[in-house]
Amino acid sequence: MRKIAVVGSCNTDMIVKSKHLPAAGETILGGDFLMSAGGKGANQAVAISRLGGNVTFICKIGDDVFGEKAMHLYAEEGIDTSNILTSSSHHSGVALISVDDNAENSIVVSPGANYDLLPEDVEKNKALIASADILLMQLEIPIETVMRAAEIAYENGVKIVLNPAPACEVPESLLKKLFLFIPNANEASFYSGVACKDNDSVKNAAGIIHSKGVKNVIITIGDKGSLLCEDGGFKYFEAIKVHAVDTTAAGDTYCGAICQALSEGRSLDKSISFATYASALAVQKIGAQPSIPTRKELDNYMRVKHLI
């Protein structure tokens, strides 16, 4: 089976449901509280593993109860944890998440040990990255670390997929190395300078990002689906209509699922379709990792929709 390496973050999510997201200076009473595993890197690694992939996760946890719990969880998920490092000076990453009645969220991350994952840590895992087929990353770790991992991958012909979240400055030298760039509409606005508010502006944004040297760009547009921009032009993929309760980690499920489908030899179009169904399942449950479907769940869902 082809190998996927994920270099990224690991968090513990503290989630509170509320009618609406609090405005600045506002205190509101929320509903249920859930503490569960999260972090964009970890969510994407878990998605790949649950969907049947061979994944190695490189991240840094703190020497604390959250880090310890995360290690156990990844091992239970069948993820290779031999490259998970422990920071002696930083706490494990934590995310405070509010989810409203429309399933939208707002997230504040305290990165802690995620920001202690340094280029030299990636250097120690050079052979692992070089021998992978796909390298998947996000931006909850230092950009220098992302760049070093990308250099190693690029020199060794490994396909690099970047989910540029949260949005931050990304050098064009990195963009030029990417096989696939997957921002959401907000992030695409940041990277293109175009406010993504309708089909035309999303298309415009994707074209601008593509012209910076990224081979393929996919902009995810929530319940409106996603747009692919590749050399041959643009293509829209509709979202599946479902009753969403929490969109947290829908994008992570999408990114993990795309990489898994690509690693199985599917085309980009077919991989997008696979990922669209995976994320439609994820939004129907609360929490990040608790919402990520297994391969069996996804296959059953696609079978019901007569897709397999």
Binding site for ligand RIB (CB under 6 A): 9, 11, 13, 38-40, 43, 95, 107, 109, 140, 248-249, 251-252, 288
Q: Which residues of 206-232 are buried (b: 16+ CB within 10 A; e: fewer)?
A: bebbbeeebbbbbbbbbeeebbbbbee
C-alpha to C-alpha distance for 246 and 17, rounded to whole angstroms: 9
Please give the helix or strand (H or E) that residue 55 lies within, else none: strand 54-62
Q: Cβ 13 to ligand RIB, closest distance in Å?
A: 5
In the bound state with ligand RIB, the residue whose beta carbon lies nearer, of 95 and 261, is 95
Q: Cβ 76 to ligand RIB, closest distance in Å?
A: 18
In the bound state with ligand RIB, the residue whose beta carbon lies nearer, of 11 and 220, is 11
Q: Cβ 307 to ligand RIB, closest distance in Å?
A: 26
In the bound state with ligand RIB, the residue whose beta carbon lies nearer, of 95 and 152, is 95
From 64, 200, 252, 299, active-site residue: 252
Q: Cβ 183 to ligand RIB, closest distance in Å?
A: 13
What is the edge-to-edge ordering of all strands in the sheet holding 159-162? 84-87, 54-62, 3-7, 134-137, 159-162, 180-181, 216-220, 226-230, 233-237
In the bound state with ligand RIB, the residue whose beta carbon lies nearer, of 41 and 53, is 41
Q: Cβ 44 to ligand RIB, closest distance in Å?
A: 9
In the bound state with ligand RIB, the residue whose beta carbon lies nearer, of 107 and 136, is 107
Residue of minimal CB distance from ligand RIB?
38
Q: Cβ 287 to ligand RIB, closest distance in Å?
A: 8
Own/partner long-range contacts of 152-159 (Cβ < 8 Å, ≥24 apart): 152/122, 152/126, 153/5, 153/129, 153/177, 155/130, 156/129, 156/130, 156/131, 158/5, 158/129, 158/130, 158/132, 158/133, 158/134, 159/133, 159/134, 159/135, 159/262
In the bound state with ligand RIB, the residue whose beta carbon lies nearer, of 13 and 77, is 13
From residue 84, alpha-carbon distances to 102, 141, 307 in Å are 36, 14, 37
Active site residue 252: yes
User: Helix or strand or coil: residue 134?
Assistant: strand
Residue indicated by tokens 């991240």: 59
Nearest 5°: CA angle at 249, between 129 and 74? 50
Where in the sequence numbering do the catalytic residues fall?
252
